[in-house]
Amino acid sequence: MAAVHPSITPELRSFIEAQRVFFVATAPSGAEGRVNVSPKGLDTFRVLGPTSVAYLDLTGSGNETAAHVGQNGRITFMFCAFEGKPRILRLYGKGRVVGGGDEEWNALLGRFGSLPGARQVIVVELDRIQTSCGFGVPRMTFAGERSELIQWAQARGEAGLREYRARNNSASIDGIKAPG
């Protein structure tokens, strides 16, 4: 059922690229604080190499992932097949946050195309790549992307997004400072 892989194979890369949604999980250091799991979509995930991945983090209601990754680097991604052959893929690793003022920003951003609300890229070096059966994951049909987040970011504009991030995204819900 479960298998550990030394790297992202061409087959696993194809699986990743076919998924319309993925999940990101992080947690603060120590016993206190909340574990965060966030669904992501809008074609914001990229395989950079056999053991390296990145996702474009768009402005949202919180900034838990960046706060936790900035504190301890731990991150897990999960992909589930909702169509076709059942499969779950988990990618475990250590991440880092790349923001607009960082040297790598433009090169990384170029891998994703232009999406309004882009606030940072989370780059992850993987230390475990694991597949499992996915027999318990329901079949679902993709109906389309939601446009609300993009429309919201466009309506705010860059100045409005900077103000929103300063007010709402500077720390996690547990008070951990977010990078940037």
CA 46 to chain centre: 10
Question: How confident is the model at residue 73, as a pLDDT?
Answer: 98
Task: Say whether pLDDT at 114 is over 90.
Answer: no
Average pLDDT over residues 36-40: 97
Give all domains of the chain, ordered by start, each with its CATH number.
3-168 (2.30.110.10)
What's the whole-number average pLDDT of the chain? 96
Question: How confident is the model at residue 15, as a pLDDT?
Answer: 98
> At 97, which helix (H) or strand (E)?
strand 88-99
- What is the residue-wise DSSP string for 136-149? TSPP--------HH
Question: How confident is the model at residue 180, as a pLDDT?
Answer: 73
The structure's pTM equals 0.96
**Tally of CB atoms within 10 A around 164:** 18
* SS3 assignment, position 76: strand
3-state secondary structure 17-70: HHCCCEEEEECCCCCCCCCEEEEECCCCEEEEECCEEEEEEECCCCCHHHHHHH
Task: Say whether pLDDT at 55 is over 90.
Answer: yes
